[in-house]
Amino acid sequence: MHPKQQRESFRSNQYTGTTSGMCDNFLQANMIILPKEYAFEFLLFCQRNRQSCPIVDVLEEGVTTPKIADADVRTDLPKYRIYRNGQLDKEVTDINEVWQEDFVTFLIGCSFTFEKALLENGIRLLHQEQDRVVPMYKTNIPCEKAGRFEGNIVVSMRALKTEEIDKAVKITEKFETSHGTPVHIGNPEEIGIIDIDNPDYGESISFDEEERTPVFWACGVTPQNVGLNVKPPIMIAHVPGHMLITDQLEEQ
Amino acid sequence: MHPKQQRESFRSNQYTGTTSGMCDNFLQANMIILPKEYAFEFLLFCQRNRQSCPIVDVLEEGVTTPKIADADVRTDLPKYRIYRNGQLDKEVTDINEVWQEDFVTFLIGCSFTFEKALLENGIRLLHQEQDRVVPMYKTNIPCEKAGRFEGNIVVSMRALKTEEIDKAVKITEKFETSHGTPVHIGNPEEIGIIDIDNPDYGESISFDEEERTPVFWACGVTPQNVGLNVKPPIMIAHVPGHMLITDQLEEQ
């Protein structure tokens, strides 16, 4: 399906699941929406933490259509999270009712963008095969602070065969605005992940630990995680794994 | 002189002239200070116009010491301009008296950073030889708009021998945070410069037009030029050519 059609299936709530594996070749984006009062510090946070928060588009105050997608950010993602004062308030399939004219929308690169390149190079993706949302974890790796925004990065995990790891590093390092090269390979405890079977976002996947090694990429859920520490009166994001599919072809 | 000593000579007003040719190997920066109310739109403007406005540091609200220089931005540049409501109010040698706690300071790369590399490759710089501030011109090349910030880029000009141009392009393209490769070579009228002998900022230089071609680089005075269109109640910048010398070694 073309991105426009795919987004229409989200808008009409025909589909409200993960976008992993959808619309090959098109860039997918994390989304975070904040009142303008927070916009400077948040943009600076992204600029200082480019690997976890690579900005691909910013929609100015009150704007609902990105430059990189003929879409409406209020309706065209499969599922949204509304946070109030740093707490999850609810999950919804559109945000028309809570939209404010002072909202600034940030689109941030997503590792789903490079998944097709991994598949084309013979690397199997277990979360797609097992029909799960990719597992994501909070880590102990600190971001560089900007104003009120501070916290640790979130990572997505793919379990790869040892002989595939070098190839995966080389493939993904070219995707600079989609988190690039992995931030960690192997031992999850080293980056503060205690239980690989209990991700903080997404769903766990089954893999043979003798045969496969967990490989971790920086994740655009980081700002969602960090934004919660700031406790803005309202903050809206996509449900992790349920991205904006843009009209922009992937890089490389 | 080391940057710290050089900045002390500015702080004590022993020297208040251009910084071109000073502190070889150290990155020099344009500076612009705005009330926080303008900070988000301005940072976004810089992000959308990276060639003219490459951010090298941002000092959060009320902060006076950059990360990249053990300096005080209120005193350690040779000369400042205070603009009020889009008009030049006055030039001063420090800004202690007008400092506001809501000021956000932006440091932007400067083409002075690559001048040493040009000289080392045998390219003569006439503005240094003639002891003038490098000439800068308003152009007809539009920036990408961000919020209230819009306008055309400003360029700095160096007149080079034809056989030097290729070399200068190759040298400067490596200096990504110091404006990189030229934006225009030759005919000034094509980019809206009517009289090469009357620069909008800096001073004119004498050169033999049969022997030398004007080469134009994007200039960090662009935000000063664009900021005036926005008419903020107060905006502070360096006097063009009178930069912050940082403690950061140039790139490459």
Average pLDDT by consecutive 10-residue portion of chain B (252 residues)?
Answer: 95 93 90 97 96 95 97 98 96 97 96 90 95 95 96 96 95 91 97 97 94 96 92 96 93 56
Residue type, B27: L
Mean pLDDT, to the nearest integer, of A28-44?
97
Give the distance from residue B147's alpha carbon to the nearest chain A alpha carbon, in angstroms: 7
Task: State whether residue B111 is helix, strand or coil.
Answer: helix
Residue B235, burial from CB neighbour count under 10 angstroms (0-12, 13-18, 19+): buried
Copy the structure tokens of residue A251: 């890089």
A224 lies in some domain? no
pLDDT (tens digit, 9 = 90+) per residue, B157-210? 999 999 999 999 999 999 988 999 999 999 999 999 999 999 999 999 999 999
**Pick from A82, A93, A74: which is nearest to A13 by CA?**
A93
- A89 and A145 together in one domain: no
Cβ A36–B40 below 8 Å, yes or no?
yes
Which residue, among A38, A41, A14, A42, has the nearest Cα to A30 in the 3D structure?
A42
pLDDT at B252 (0 to 100)? 46
Tokens 């299936």 — which residue? A9
A162 and A77 housed in the same domain? no
Count of domains forming chain B: 2
Mean pLDDT of A214-240: 94
In this prediction, what percent of chain A has a pLDDT beyond 90? 91
User: Looking at residues A78-92, what average pLDDT do you find?
Assistant: 96
Q: Nearest residue of A to residue B60 by CA position? A: A147
- In this prediction, residues A41-67 reach a mean pLDDT of 96
CB contact under 8 A, A44 and B61: no
**Is residue B223 domain-resident?**
no
Q: Which helix or strand (DSSP H or E) is residue B5 part of?
A: helix B3-11
- Residues from B contacting A (CB-CB < 8 Å) are 36, 39-41, 43-44, 47, 55, 58, 60-61, 104, 146-147
CB contact under 8 A, B43 and A41: no
Per-residue tokens: A93 = 């399939």
A interface mutation test: which of B37, B43, B48, B144 has the most A CBs within 10 A? B43
Instruction: Please tell me the predicted confidence (pLDDT) of residue A113.
Output: 87
Could you give the CA distance from residue B14 to residue A225 in angstroms, rounded to a whole number? 50
From A106, which residue of chain B is nearest by alpha-carbon distance?
B44
CB B122 within 8 A of CB B49: no
- At residue B140, the pLDDT reads 97
**pLDDT of amino acid B251:** 67
Residue A60 and residue A33: Cα distance in Å, rounded?
Answer: 11
ipTM of this predicted complex? Answer: 0.86
For residue B197, the cross-strand partners are none
B134 and B205 both lie in a single domain: yes
Q: Which residues pair with A16 in a beta bridge?
A: none
Coil, strand or helix: which one is A129? helix
Is A212 a domain residue?
Answer: yes
Question: Biggest alpha carbon distance in chain A?
Answer: 53
pLDDT 10s digits, A149-180: 999 999 999 999 999 999 999 999 999 889 99
Q: Based on the fold, state whether residues B68 and B120 are members of the same structural domain.
A: no
Q: Could you tell me if A22 and A104 lie in one domain? A: yes
Q: What is the pLDDT of residue A51?
A: 92
B153 and B63 inside one domain = no
Q: Is residue A211 part of a domain?
A: yes
How far is the C-alpha of B82 from the C-alpha of B103, rounded, in Å?
13
Question: B116 is in which domain, residue-wise?
Answer: 112-218
Residue B203 counted as domain residue: yes
Per residue in A99-156, pLDDT (tens digit) is: 999 999 999 998 888 898 999 999 999 999 999 999 999 999 999 999 999 999 999 9
Residue A252's pLDDT band (cuts 50, 70, 90): very low
* Chain A residue closest in CA terms to B106: A44
What is the DSSP secondary-structure string of B146-198? BTTB--EEEEEEEEEEHHHHHHHHHHHTT-GGGT-S-SEES-GGGGT---TTS
Site of tokens 């739109």: B41
Closest residue in A to B55 (Cα) is A47
Q: Is A93 exposed, middle or buried (0-12, 13-18, 19+ CB in 10 A)?
A: middle
The verdict on B169 and B199 lying in the same domain is: yes
Closest Cβ–Cβ partner in A40, A61, A104 for B39: A40
C-alpha Rg value of chain A to the nearest Å: 17
> What is the distance in angstroms between the CA of the first residue and the CA of the last residue of chain A?
22
Q: What is the pLDDT of residue A72?
A: 98
B153 burial type by CB count under 10 A (0-12 exposed, 13-18 middle, 19+ buried) = buried
Tell me which residues of chain A have a C-beta less than 8 Å from any C-beta of chain B. Answer: 36, 39-41, 43-44, 47, 55, 58, 60-61, 104, 146-147
Q: Indicate whether A133 and A161 sit together in one domain.
A: yes
Q: Do strands A212-218 and A184-185 pair parallel, antiparallel, or not at all (unpaired)?
A: antiparallel
DSSP bridge pairs for A80: A92, A238
Beta pairing class for B103-109 and B55-59: antiparallel
- Between CA B229 and CA B38 the distance in angstroms is 13
> With contact defined as beta carbons under 8 Å apart, do B43 and B58 qualify?
yes
Token reading at A12: 């009409």
DSSP per-residue letters across B41-86:
HHHHHHHH-TTT--EEEEE-TT--S-SS-SS-TTTSSS-EEEEETT
Chains A, B: CB contacts within 8 A come to 31
Instruction: Give buried/exposed letters for B1-22 (b at 16+ CB in 10 A, else e).
Output: eebeebbbebbeeebeebbbeb
Residue B71's Cβ-count burial label (10 Å; 0-12, 13-18, 19+) is: buried
Q: Are residues A121 and A103 in the same domain?
A: no
- Is B36 close to A40, i.e. CB distance below 8 A? yes
A223 assigned to some structural domain: no
Residues B80, B46 share a domain: yes
Of B41, B47, B60, the CB nearest to A55: B47
A20 in a structural domain: yes
CB contact under 8 A, A47 and B55: yes
Note whether residue A225 is domain-resident: no
Here the CATH number for the domain that contains residue A49 is 3.40.1640.10
Least Cα separation, residue B103 to chain A (angstroms): 13
CA distances to A138, A141, A195, A196 from A189, rounded to whole Å, are 11, 12, 8, 9
Q: Are B134 and B174 contained in the same domain?
A: yes
Q: At A84, list the tokens.
A: 């109030």
A41 contacts B60? CB cut-off 8 A? yes
Distance from C-alpha of B37 to C-alpha of B90, rounded to nearest angstrom: 23
Give the residue from A39, A31, A222, A40 showing the smallest Cα distance to A142: A222
Do B135 and B202 belong to one domain? Answer: yes
CATH number for position B177: 3.30.2040.10
**Cβ separation B36–A36 shorter than 8 A:** no
